[in-house]
Structure 1
């Protein structure tokens, strides 16, 4: 029996000023239609315990677009508006099945600005995306493509050299996704492509018969003295050098590199990751708890356009 595998591709586009205005208008219309349909379904459910179908809300959308007050809905593609109604239907289905709470209204500040297009409403050719109701295509831009290619080539060369020259590699499993929420660091982290650097050594190690050990993200690599093992208290990012009670002065980054290496090599025979040190209630000594790392699968929906982010 044949198995159909869904693939997701992620691209980043850089709209012009006029295109950004058009996209913002589309995001606003999607939010408006979703909230109006939710209000209609809420009134029907509250007053009459009536479940309004997707077809009914689709008919409402057609009527709304014919009114003078909501005529602006005709300025954007109908596809993302229909998709908003489908998302609302899915939210109500989950609610009635007791899998989620009652759907909430979206707001400009609280909700993510997005619009979803099906294949009938966009065309992607030669690295250019053309959306329905948009005159000019959004351009995957060549200068950024070259930068991405060079970055990827550099990462491949670096990770291949590291795997070839070392029998065991120890890396720290950072929460990159959480770090991207920091507005001051997100661009620098994205440019460094840490996620790619994290994954490349693992599959290359399998090729060359090497070992990659991932140290848990909560392991206190910066606060742990690599000489005596004493765990320090709070250590803000502004502290770049510090002196342990044993008299050793540490460079923060050098010390933070030595600790994962030592911890990773110590558990190499067990094939486990390393979790943060905690104090034993029986001995009062710091104890390292080991736990196998787990990965979370990622699912991607159909093509979705998001402001300030990637498309899936």
Structure 2
């Protein structure tokens, strides 16, 4: 008997938006968990892989995109019985195989994390690994301690929004949010930042522009820790705002792959520039971080701007900027 078909988003041509279509419903393989997908976010990595321009190479098409999702176990194991709410990861676009943007997904058990009951699956999907990155950049890599001052760059993005809230719940003494748009700065203040400053031209490497940006960031005085998903001029300016022995944790380069950092700033303050990626996390670390994210969601202390969209409408929202899009199969 042939497998049943299911709803799915499909990348048919690298560089073109995903389209709504159908895919055979997968069977559970050895070591896999079958998940009924409740929500699948569209994240930058999905678009990058689907573009065919990433360092992973051009993906084989057609394939179902989606590197993460949230759902309920249909067929699992003793540790993941039927009905368990879960978050899961896939290698869609990076390796052959289908991702999360479909009604049912077959996922290796080591890429599935059980979630506590009671959290909104759409919100958890919207936050996902972005919130994990924010939390681990603050704590695991950044060593945040209660009372320290934190500067969050790119506070309008999902990572930045999460970093503002998670820094507050972790006991940060003062939080400065830096964001380009006025709406993003207002949102950062509503989420718990003490002050919000405009970023300006983050693509400039002019010394005068970097100095002006640093002066804006220093509105509240020096800071102990910078969360930086931008790099570029914003990172160079933020380094000038650090206290002696302060730390900047870089977890992205949306403003530029290089930054005009001067040696005198590094040496005069003995500051540390630290890199972070979710890829270095062990499954246990990732599960623990996700558990913290979900606990904060359930407590009403963590959210992000997002929009739930039916999967059938994927083409129209594939390239949309702004609030995170979460597809509902």
Q: Do both proteins adopt the same fold according to a TM-score greater than 0.5, normalized to the shorter chain?
A: no
Higher strand share: 2
Q: Return the index of the structure with the highest Cα Rg.
A: 1
> Normalising TM by the smaller chain, what interval?
under 0.3
With structure 1 as the length reference, what TM-score do the two structures score?
A: 0.27
